[in-house]
Structure 1
């Protein structure tokens, strides 16, 4: 028989052994360490999410590039920017689209949007309010600002950057991708056409043709058929499209234009709106409200936000120029009443950090930073009446950025983006 004494097991008095565990101090230390690790991890998670969104945006742009190349292969030209139908006189806007369709309309069947192309290219009775249009909207649609034409209100996922939170009214269908129209604001929205008192002047007046040839130096020229053969600087050296941020209704200088009723001054001094004190000195990304030491600008109405209408060509909605560097202010030269339809400086922009995507004419997607070399912003645009560096045929006054936006100015690109 084996005897086990209480003394031998350490229980001299028969009491239970002490139980081990965390003290309150140890527990608090562990919680503090976990909190620090979570705090360190969250920015990394956010950065990873933004990297994924940026990659998705780049992929959307690649699809757009493929659609443009496939369109060119099919029709031997690029889709016309500011194209569509026209009826002389003050015809109802529901019976033609006023030569105001963006290049994006034509490539819808080439980017897996055949269904909406069928609605646009055929007479259509569908209305946004659920009713039926009588008589039906014509083939190629109503004016792109028509409030009841359903296709113009349709949001196309391929045209949206996942990093851009803009959604819903007062916009129609939004877009984050726009056409490059060169490095000058002269005739950027009209090209080689003239409309007088609602009448399309034909043939084009010689003076108008000369102005267009001198200033419209981008891959896309308003109301003119363009081809890859027109890009003399090389497809890999010329920007075809760029990313734009859509407006959120917060007076952002990148997405809501100041309207100055002074196109010649803006043409000769592209950063005029900044020099005129319209940008808030306290919040440089936003327009002044007049109470912060700056001057409150004239701003457009509800529909004047950047990227608000994917189907409408225009400075605000689907066009940009390579004058001011990415994420700079948008400044238009029209009158207060209709200024949103006027030419002006409007560069690329995005919700990504530090720059925006661009689509080169060869289909390559690149990310251009806000600090890209862009010459002297106080230098006038090249135009038919320009002198010195602004005379027709000169290289771009806006450095590398301007050179990338021109299709045939013979600049030598010495830097890799």
Structure 2
């Protein structure tokens, strides 16, 4: 059947055609909409604002990170304080700062040179018993031949073959400050500072408070030195908490140092090499302090080209109390508390805090 009126389909097509005919050929409704973007000036302004915000935010982020690192460093020393107190609970006395040190002048105790660092004795109390068992504790921990061995005695065993030199290469994170970006390996190597030929010991940021001049100068000198100059630790001597007459809360027990000593390499945690004696915040009235990157005793022309102090590199082994924390470093007190001591502290106060029975009881500033 035919009809003169258009069908529904035809009507729809005619209507669609009329609607489409309002747009030019090859265009669409989307392309007719406004697509205006940023101008170059607007982009530059946005980039400048972002740059300012980053500049304002970055110092705050860095300070937050350093605060976290400083807290971790403090916690490391607290763990060592717990280990020391547990050691005393077990043995009734503190470990010696070293045993059989061969870098001093005189006769080695019992005639045996072992160069043992007292930190090794703390490993079982720091959940590092497996590392402690790697050592042969009856033999030498390091050997430093020639002029680096000044003590008279016999080096017991060979660290290169008895396993001690290999164990000394282990990096223990609990003995490293996260703020110190100096490498833990590399400075404790060679005839003077290494555990044995071909080995590189791992450094530590923490060590015992000692009279470093005495430890290095005279073998077994701690036993005969005046009581009012004694620190809490000494070579081949086991002091007791009862010996700390100035009070445990008023006396330094351990301190912080850097993993880079310009004059002296660094301190290894496992052994005592050349000039590795421990931390002495007060070497003398002229030399001492915290974060001192250049010592008065050493002239600027000591090295060629002339020495330029670098922050984070303790100038000398004999006054190595230092850190990369801004403004000071940490100390572990005899009672197990940890305090951040400002680098502006005066030398007489440092001395009173370092010795354990001089009768000059001072409080931390």
| 1:321 matched to 2:321 | no
1:102 and 2:131 correspond: no
Do the aligned partners of residues 233 and 67 (structure 1) sit closer, same or farther apart at CA in structure 2, a change above 3 Å counting?
Answer: same
Task: Identify which of 47, 57, 68 aligns with 2:63.
Answer: 47
Distance 1:318 1:33, change over 3 A: farther
Is residue 233 of structure 2 the alignment partner of residue 220 of structure 1? yes
How big is the alpha-carbon RMSD for the aligned residues of Structure 1 and Structure 2? 3.5
TM-superposed CA distance for 1:111, in Å, is 0.7
Q: Which of the residues 325, 350, 356 maps onto 2:329? A: 356
Assess if the C-alpha contact under 8 Å between 1:179 and 1:241 holds in 2.
Answer: yes
Change (3 A) 1:157 1:97: farther
- Partners of 1:217 and 1:408 within 8 A in 2: yes
Conserved? CA contact 1:330–1:347, under 8 Å: no
Q: Name 1:368's counterpart in structure 2.
A: 341
1:83 aligns with 2:42: no
1:300-343 CA-to-partner distances (Å, cap 9, x unmatched) read: xxxx4122x2122468435121311101246899xxxxxxxxx9
Does the alignment pair 1:305 with 2:265? Answer: yes
Alignment of 1:402 onto 2:351: yes
CA distances 1:204-257 after superposition (whole Å, capped 9, x unpaired): xxxx954x235751000222111111100000000000000011xxxxxxx222
Match of 2:220 in 1: 193
Q: In the alignment, does 2:5 pair up with 1:32?
A: no
Change in Cα spacing, 1:123 to 1:229, as seen in structure 2 (3 Å) is: closer
Shift in Å, 1:44: 1.6
Partner SS, residue 107 of structure 1: helix
Q: How many aligned residue pairs are there?
A: 277
- Cα pair 1:190 1:223 within 8 Å, conserved: no
Alignment of 1:162-181 (within 5 A): 162-167=178-183, 168-171=185-188, 172-181=201-210
Equivalent position to 1:239, from 237, 252, 259: 252
1:42–1:64 Cα change, 3 Å: same
Q: Separation in 2 of the partners of 1:371 and 1:32?
A: 40
Q: Which has the larger radius of gyration?
A: 2
8 A Cα contact 2:95 2:121, kept in partner: yes
The offset of 1:149, in angstroms, is 2.1
CA-to-partner distance for each residue in 1:86-144, whole Å, 9 max, x for gaps? 9xxxxxxxxx97142122011011111101111114689xxxxxxxxxxxxxxx97569
Q: 1:345 Cα shift?
A: 3.3
Q: Conserved in 2, the CA contact under 8 Å of 1:238 and 1:407?
A: yes
Residue 17 of structure 1: how far off its partner (Å):
6.8
| In structure 2, C-alpha distance between the alignment counterparts of 1:148 and 1:332, rounded to whole Å | 36
Q: Secondary structure at the match of 1:56?
A: helix
Q: Residues 256 and 323 of structure 2 are in contact (CA less than 8 Å); yes or no, is this contact kept in structure 1?
A: yes
Shift of 1:405: 0.2
- Contact 1:242–1:320 (8 Å) recurs in 2: yes
Structure 1 or 2: more helix by fraction = 2
Matched, 1:411 2:360: yes
Conserved? CA contact 2:213–2:318, under 8 Å: no
Confirm or deny: 8 A CA contact 2:101 2:235 kept in the other structure: no
Q: Cα 1:186–1:25, aligned 2, differ >3 Å: closer, same or farther?
A: closer
What's the TM-score once normalised by structure 1's chain length?
0.59
Counterpart of 1:165 in 2: which secondary structure? coil
Secondary structure of 1:371's match? coil
1:39 Cα deviation after fit = 1.6
Unaligned runs of 5+ in 2: 1-30, 103-110, 140-155, 189-200, 283-287, 299-315
